[in-house]
Amino acid sequence: MSTVDALPEAPTTSASHPGWLGEVVHDIVHRPVMLVGLGVWVAFIIMAIGGQHLAPYAIDAQDIAHRLQGPSHAHLLGTDELGRDLLSRLMVGTRYALAVAIPAVAIALVVGVTVGMLAGFFGGVVDRVVVTLLDSVQAFPAVILALTLLALVGHSLRNETLVISVAFIPSYARVTRALVMAAKNNQWVDAERSLGARPLRIVVVHILPNIAASLFVLMAMDIPSAITISAGLDFLGLGLQPPTPSWGGILSSGFYYVEQSPWPVIWASVFLVIATLGFTLLAEGLRDVIDPRLSR
Amino acid sequence: MEMHPAPVLSIQNLKVHFGSVRAVDGIDMDIVKGEVMGLVGESGSGKTTIGRAIIGLTAVTEGSIEFGGRDITRLGGHERRTLRRRMQMIFQDPYSSLSPRMRVSRLLAEPYTIHRIAKSDRRSATELLETVGLSHDLAGKYPHELSGGQARRVGIARALALSPDLVVADEPTAGLDASASASALNLMKSLRDTLGLTYLIITHNLNVLGYVADQISVMYLGKIVEVGPVGAIFDRPAHPYSIGLLSSIPEVGQRGLIGRKFVPRGEMPSPSDPPSGCRFHPRCQLAKPKCSEVEPALEAIEQQHVAACHFWQEARAIAESAREEPSSKLATTSQGDLQPPNREAVP
Amino acid sequence: MTSPLLRVDGLSVVYRIRDRVLHGLDDITLAVNENEILGIVGESGCGKTTLSMSIMRLLPPNAAVTAGRVTFKDRDLTGLSREEMRQLRGSEISMVFQDPLTSLNPTFSIGQQMRFLQRGHLRESRSVQVDRAAAALQRVGIPDARRRLGAYPHEFSGGMRQRVMIAMAVLLEPALVIADEPTSALDVTLQAEILELLDDLRRSRGTSILFVSHDLGVISQICDRVVVMYAGRVVETGSVQSLFACPLHPYTRALLGAVPSRRHRGRPLESIPGRVPSLSELPIGCKFADRCGYVDAVCLPREPDLLQPTTGGDVVRCYAYDPSVSRSASFAELVDASLVC
Q: What is the pLDDT of residues B167-189, one digit of tens each?
A: 999 999 888 888 889 989 999 99
Give the torsion sign (CA, C320, C322, C325, C326).
positive
Mean per-residue pLDDT, A75-86: 84
User: How far is Cα C189 from Cα B262, in angstroms, rounded to an integer?
Assistant: 10
Please count the residue pairs, one from chain B and one from chain C, whose beta carbons lie less than 8 angstroms apart: 151
On the CB side of B150, CA atoms within 13 Å amount to 18
User: Chains meeting B at 3+ CB pairs closer than 8 A?
Assistant: A, C
Residues B128, B259 within the same domain: no
In whole angstroms, how far apart are CA A53 and each of A28, A59, A275, B302?
32, 11, 21, 95
Q: What is the mean pLDDT of residues B232-257?
A: 81
SS3 label, residue A144 = helix
B76 and B125 part of one domain: no
Residue A17 has its nearest CB partner, among B57, B84, B142, at B142
| Residue B198 pLDDT | 94
Q: Which of A76, A85, A93 is nearest to A58 (CA)?
A: A85
In a domain, residue B132? The reply is: yes
Chains that touch C (3 or more CB pairs under 8 A): A, B
In three-state secondary structure terms, B151 is helix
**Which residue type sits at B78?**
H
Q: What is the pLDDT of residue A184?
A: 82
Q: What Å distances lie between residue C62 and A7, A10, A214, C7, CA to CA?
A: 10, 9, 31, 24
- Together in a domain, B208 and B247: no
Residue B29 shares a structural domain with residue B68: yes
Chain A nearest-CA residue for B54: A194
* Chain C residue closest in CA terms to B242: C189
Q: Give the strand pairing for B223-229 and B215-220.
A: antiparallel
pLDDT at res. B332? 39
Mean pLDDT of chain B: 86
pLDDT per residue over B19-75, tens digit each?
A: 889 999 999 999 999 999 999 999 889 999 999 999 988 999 999 999 988 898 888
Helix axes A263-294, A20-29, angle to 10 degrees: 140
pLDDT in tens, B228-243: 999 999 999 999 999 9
Rounded CA-CA distance A159/A295 in Å is 38
Predicted confidence at residue B343, as pLDDT, reads: 46
Domain extent, residue C286, equals 241-340
SS (H, E, C) chain C: CCCCCEEEEEEEEEEEECCEEEEEEEEEEEEECCCCEEEEECCCCCCHHHHHHHHHCCCCCCEEEEEEEEEECCEEHHHCCHHHHHHHECCCEEEECCCHHHHCCCCCCHHHHHHHHHHCCCCCCHHHHHHHHHHHHHHCCCCCHHHHCCCCHHHCCHHHHHHHHHHHHHCCCCCEEEEECCCCCCCHHHHHHHHHHHHHHHHHHCCEEEEEECCHHHHHHHCCEEEEEECCEEEEEEEHHHHHHCCCCHHHHHHHHHCCCHHHCCCCCCCCCCCCCCHHHCCCCCCCHHHCCCCCHHHCCCCCCCECCECCCCEECCHHHCCCCCCCHHHHHHHHHHHHC
Domain check: are B202 and B66 in the same one? yes
Name the pairing type of β-strands C63-72 and C6-17: antiparallel
Confidence of residue B148 (pLDDT cuts 50, 70, 90): confident
- Greater pLDDT, C211 or C78: C211
Percent of chain A with pLDDT over 90: 15
**CA-based nearest residue to C265, from B213, B289, A107:** B213
Mean pLDDT computed over B150-156:
93
**SS3 state of residue B10:** strand
Contacts of C189 in chain B (CB under 8 A): 42, 244-245, 248, 263-264
**Dist. CA B70–CA B269, nearest whole Å:** 35
One-letter amino acid for residue A200 of the chain: L
The domains of chain A are located at 44-50+77-294
At A269, which amino acid appears?
S
| B327 to B153, B256, B258, B260: CA distances (angstroms) | 40, 8, 9, 8
Residue-averaged pLDDT of chain C: 89
B110 to chain C, minimum CA–CA distance in Å? 28
Other CB atoms closer than 10 Å to residue B13's CB: what's the count? 11
The answer to whether residue B232 is domain-embedded is no
Averaged pLDDT, C293-300: 88
Same domain flag for B153 and B290: no
Residue type, B334: S
Mean pLDDT to the nearest integer, A171-183:
88
User: How would you label B169-207 residue by residue, b for 16+ Cβ within 10 Å and e otherwise?
Assistant: bbbbbbbbbbbbbbbbbbbbbebbeeeebbbbbbbbbbb
Which pTM does this prediction carry? 0.81
In a domain, C68, yes or no: no
B 117-176 → C contacts, CB under 8 A: 147, 149, 173
CA angle C22, A9, B182 (to 5 degrees): 80
pLDDT for residue B342 is more than 60: no
Task: Give domain status of residue C247, yes or no.
Answer: yes
Euclidean distance between CA atoms C265 and C281, whole angstroms? 36
Neighboring chain C residues of A5 at a CB cutoff of 8 Å? 43-49
The residues that bridge with B205 in the sheet, in sequence order, are none
- Measured CA to CA in angstroms, residue B10 lies from A88, B72, B89 at distances of 79, 11, 17
Asked whether the predicted pLDDT for residue B156 surpasses 90, the reply is yes
Contact across the interface for A2 and C17, Cβ inside 8 Å: no
Contacting B with CB below 8 Å, chain A residues are 1, 3, 14, 16-19, 186-188, 190-198, 201, 206, 209-210
Instruction: From chain A, pick out residues whose CB is under 8 angstroms from the CB of C48.
Output: 5
DSSP state of B62: E
State the SS3 of A48-91.
HHHHHHCCCCCCCCCCHHHCCCCCCCCCCCCECCCCCEHHHHHH
- Would you state the pLDDT for residue B4? 59
Residues 6+ apart with CB under 8 A from C171: C90, C114, C117, C118, C132, C133, C136
Residue B227 falls inside a structural domain? no
What pLDDT band is residue A75 in, cutting at 50, 70 and 90?
confident
- Of C220-234, C246-260, C320-334, least confident by mean pLDDT is C320-334
Task: Name the residue type at position A33.
Answer: V
Whether residue A231 is predicted with pLDDT greater than 80 in this model: the reply is yes
As to burial, measured by CB atoms within 10 angstroms (0-12 exposed, 13-18 middle, 19+ buried), residue C33 is middle
CB contact under 8 A, A5 and C184: no
What residue numbers bound the domain in which B146 lies?
99-160
Per the structure, the count of domains in chain C is: 1
Judged by CB atoms closer than 8 Å, whether chains meet at C279 and A9 is answered as no
Beta strands in B68-213 (DSSP E): 70-71, 87-90, 166-170, 198-203
pLDDT band per the 50, 70, 90 thresholds, residue A103:
very high
**B114 in A contact zone (CB under 8 Å):** yes
Own/partner pairs for C158-163, CB < 8 Å, 24+ apart?
Answer: C158/B267, C158/C100, C158/C101, C158/C185, C158/C186, C158/C190, C159/B267, C159/C186, C159/C187, C159/C190, C159/C193, C159/C194, C160/B267, C161/C100, C161/C101, C161/C104, C162/C96, C162/C100, C162/C186, C162/C190, C162/C194, C163/C137, C163/C194, C163/C197
Verify that B50 and B181 share a domain, yes or no: yes
Per the DSSP assignment, residues forming a β-bridge with C213 are C41
Angstroms from A6 CA to nearest CA on chain C: 7
pLDDT digits (tens, 9 = 90+) for A9-63: 333 333 445 556 666 677 667 777 788 888 888 989 898 888 788 788 887 888 8
**Using CB atoms, which chains have 3+ pairs under 8 A with A?**
B, C
B121 inside domain: yes
Ramachandran angles phi, psi of B146, nearest 5°: -95, 155
Count how many Cα atoms sit within 13 Å of the Cα of residue C277 in the half-sphere of its side chain: 21
Domain membership flag for residue B65: yes
Q: Both ends of chain A: CA-CA distance in Å?
A: 22
pLDDT of B345: 45
**Which class does domain A44-50+77-294 fall in?**
mainly alpha
Lowest mean pLDDT among A101-110, A234-243, C285-294: A234-243
Asked if A1 and B93 come within 8 Å (Cβ–Cβ), the reply is no
- Enumerate residues 6+ apart whose C-beta is below 8 A from C322: C304, C307
Q: How confident is the model at residue B346 (pLDDT cuts 50, 70, 90)?
A: very low
Q: Is the pLDDT of residue A105 over 60?
A: yes
- Judge residue A123's burial from the number of C-beta atoms within 10 Å of its C-beta, 0-12 exposed, 13-18 middle, 19 or more buried: middle
Do C46 and C232 meet the contact criterion of CB atoms below 8 Å apart? yes
pLDDT at B5 over 80: no
Per-residue model confidence (pLDDT) at position C5: 93
B43 in a domain, yes or no?
Answer: yes
What residue spans of chain A are helical by DSSP H?
20-29, 32-50, 86-122, 124-138, 142-153, 157-184, 187-195, 199-201, 208-235, 247-256, 263-294
Is residue C72 within 8 Å of residue C92, measured between CB atoms?
yes
Flag whether B340 is in a domain. no
pLDDT of residue C51: 94
Query: Which residue among A2, A5, A7 places its CB closest to the CB of C60?
Result: A7
Q: Grade residue B336 by pLDDT with cuts at 50, 70 and 90.
A: very low
pLDDT digits (tens, 9 = 90+) for C99-131: 877 888 889 999 999 999 898 888 888 899 999
Mean pLDDT of B317-343: 54
Angstrom distance (rounded) from CA A276 to CA A281:
8
Q: What was the pLDDT predicted at B259?
A: 61
Over range C179-206, report the average pLDDT.
Answer: 88
Residues 15-74 of B with CB under 8 A from C: 42-43
**What pLDDT, in 10s, does the model give residues B275-295?**
999 999 999 988 899 999 999
Q: Once rounded to an integer, what is the mean pLDDT over residues A84-92? A: 87
pLDDT at C44 over 90: no
* pLDDT of B344: 45
Dist. CA C92–CA C73, nearest whole Å: 10
CATH of the domain at B70: 3.40.50.300
A8 at the C interface (CB within 8 A)?
Answer: yes
